């Protein structure tokens, strides 16, 4: 089963961390990623640009609306994701629980992917 680990953090709080602490978190992220790759669970990942670069597309009354900014105003912003293959939710939670940004206020949402039929 595939799980999406959505990593969220308050961008302002992240930016306020001293540079050496951010560098250590990112170094630990590299180590974490290598472990997931070695464990065979890694499928994909990506780091998003800051929320200020977001564009939201909606439809209202049959017309497309394109808005600057994120989908919702929240305390934490989606900063990146990891797609992992796990035997069950417990394994996905275990992997998510080791993500380094958790120790600096980050949050990880773990969500199973719905299998899509191949067409």
Summarize pLDDT for 10-64 with one digit per residue, the tens. 988 999 999 999 999 999 999 999 999 999 999 999 999 988 888 888 899 999 9
Judge whether residue 100 has pLDDT over 90. yes
CA torsion angle 103 38 40 97 (round to 10) = -10
What is the band of 90 on the pLDDT scale with cuts at 50, 70, 90? very high
Using pLDDT thresholds of 50, 70 and 90, give the confidence band for residue 67. confident
- Three-state secondary structure string covering the chain: CEEEEEEEECHHHHHHCCHHHHHHHHHHHHHHHHHHHHCCCEEEEEECCCHHHCEEEEEECCEEEEEECCCCCCCCEEEEEEEEECCCHHHHHHHHCCCHHHHHCCEEEEEECCCCCCC
46 Cβ contact partners less than 8 Å away, ≥ 6 residues apart? 80, 81
- What domains are there in the chain, each with its CATH number? 19-112 (3.30.70.1060)
């Amino acid at each position: 089963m595939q799980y999406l680990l959505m990593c969220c953090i308050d961008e302002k709080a992240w930016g306020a961390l001293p540079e050496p602490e951010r560098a250590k978190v990112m170094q630990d992220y590299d180590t974490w990623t290598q472990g997931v790759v070695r464990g065979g669970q890694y499928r994909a990942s990506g780091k998003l640009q800051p929320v200020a670069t977001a564009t939201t597309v909606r439809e209202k009354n049959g017309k497309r609306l394109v808005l600057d900014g994120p989908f919702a105003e929240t305390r934490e912003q989606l900063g990146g994701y990891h797609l992992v293959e796990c035997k069950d939710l417990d394994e996905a939670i275990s992997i998510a629980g080791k993500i380094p940004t958790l120790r600096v206020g980050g949050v990880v949402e773990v969500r199973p992917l719905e299998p899509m039929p191949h067409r």
